[in-house]
Amino acid sequence: MAINFLNTVDLNKNSLDNARIQNLSSDPSAANSSIGQIYFNTTADTLKQYVADKEGSGSPGWVEVGSDSVTAGTGIGVTLTGGNAVVRNTGLVTVLDGTYINLTKQGGGDNTELTADLNAVDGTSVLGTRFLSKDNTWDVPAFDQYTHWTLDGDTGTAQNISSEDTATFVGGTKISTVVSATDTLTISHDLQTQTDSTSTASPGYSGTFTAVDSVTRDTTGHVTGINVKTITLPDTDDTTYDLTSKANASSGADIDLTDSDGNVDTVTVIGTASEIVVAQSATAGTIVISQPADVTIGNNLQVDNNATVTGALTVAGTGNFTGEVTVPTATAGTSAPNLAQVELLVAGVGVFQGGYNASTDPGVPIISGASNIALDQGDYYVVTNDGDITFSDTTVSVEVGDFIFAAAAITAASDPASTEYTFVIADANVAGAGATDGATEKGVSGFDSESFTVSSTGWVQLKPQSNPYGAKQALNNTAPCSRAESGGLTTFTIDLTDVSIFGTSALASNVKAEITQISAPYETVYADVARSGTGTISFAFTGSVASDVYAALLIYV
């Protein structure tokens, strides 16, 4: 029984010692043969190989690897003379002429020679460069004997286009061609021209000018006409105002809104009824805009300078002040408080100050050491990066998710002690892995108690493990293993349904096996391994193999 390798075996340039090629009395069938396969033929007493082209037949087959015999074939004779094999042609050689080749047989017997000659007859051309033409003569191109190329209607050699020629010129929808009786080729276009009516280049008020309105053409695409339209400009320009002479607003002067003809144009100012008054004064060109004493702003209001409100101020929209607004101390629930009132109300209430990065010492922002920042009681940070914080009295370690509260008001650059802060360990981080307890980050995690132990400080360790799906079985004749010899083979069979191996009945197709020596040097050896559907795995060896020489390492997957 042979080991069935299902892939290429690479010996990595190592020698194959004491190898024996497969012995067969005849060639394997084509179905059991592959190009490059070899075996030893015990009948012919020679090594044979399977090749793609057997003896020039074009088909694959088995041939000898080297031979001391030569066999004659059709038309080939082999004669052994004084230890030398003479191979010669014994058939007939037929000589056939081609269309332009004459073959002549010379000599006879074993020294037949053939002479090939071109049978073309020399032509009348005298030029050196020639070619073999279809009429079996040597010719040259005759193009250089002519000085002009002529059209089919010309009787002479002049290169003219005349009425007797057949000349075709392709024109477009706007291009036409004609050959006159006087040998003249005329190419023209039929685009019609259109002259615009006379107009002033830059017409003034009430002036007119013309412009192309539409273009017409016939079914062939030829332009048949161009329609124009007359455009008249307005009499005056009432949309242009001369504001270059307006007075500076600080001088109190009015803005002149008269146009070029001296008239006051219509000016519309949109405002709230009875709130904004727009009127034209008796003086020509003057517009007066006024407002009452009390003003209600329904939309956004922007005040560019400081505004002081002594009475009630009602803002229906959004007040947009670039300066400061002085607000009195509020007494009613609907009144706005001032800054002093707000600070009094929020005194002692903690305010979130943002994240705290403890990866460097001091951290960011600086809450320890001589350069600490000022904090109010209750202000707090959330740690975003692990690290240590060095205070004047001790060092505190914090992790991601921890809270740092100011236990009292802390002044800037006061080098506070750790007791001036309250640290809330949130343990929102995931536990890490490290070499020692102190160097390992603790966090939120869960572990399988069957495989792990966890100390009170959060130190997790793996319990000693064993492989419940691995086993070692000696190859002998003791249950669950049996031994048998037959046909020159020794076979050991292990019953995998025996619970003493894996603690449960195992499926043979899911068991991996490795065979090793029981004693030193415990080398791995290879045998034929087979698995049955009844839960057994067998190991077959060539020859007689004693019990307890090898063992099988089994893994149930």
Phi and psi dihedrals of 419, rounded to 5? Answer: -70, -15
Rounded average pLDDT over 423-433 = 77
**Distance, C-alpha 135 to centroid of its chain:** 66
Rounded average pLDDT over 479-494 = 94
Structural domains present in the chain: 23-64 (no CATH), 346-424 (no CATH), 433-465 (no CATH), 470-556 (2.40.30)
Q: Tell me if residue 379 falls in helix, strand or coil.
A: coil
Q: What is the pLDDT of residue 457?
A: 77
* Per-residue tokens: 444: 């939120």
Chain segment 514-546, per-residue pLDDT in tens? 999 999 999 999 999 999 978 999 999 988 999
CA distances from 159 to 141, 154, 169, 179, 182 (A): 21, 8, 17, 15, 14
* Per-residue tokens: 34: 């592959």
Chain segment 323-346, per-residue pLDDT in tens? 677 778 888 878 888 887 776 666
Chain segment 410-420, per-residue pLDDT in tens? 999 999 999 99
Say if residues 344 and 325 touch (Cβ distance below 8 Å): no
Q: What is the pLDDT of residue 117?
A: 74
Task: Tell which residue, 290, 273, 269, has the closest CA to residue 281.
Answer: 290
Chain segment 87-112, per-residue pLDDT in tens? 777 666 677 777 667 777 766 655 56
pLDDT > 70? residue 551: yes
Q: Tell me if residue 160 falls in helix, strand or coil.
A: coil
* Per-residue tokens: 235: 């009499």
Task: Tell which residue, 489, 502, 476, has the closest CA to residue 543.
Answer: 489
The 8-class DSSP code of residue 339 comes to H
Q: What is the pLDDT of residue 152?
A: 47
Looking at 64-68, 78-82, 306-310, which range is the least confident one?
A: 306-310
pLDDT > 80? residue 196: no
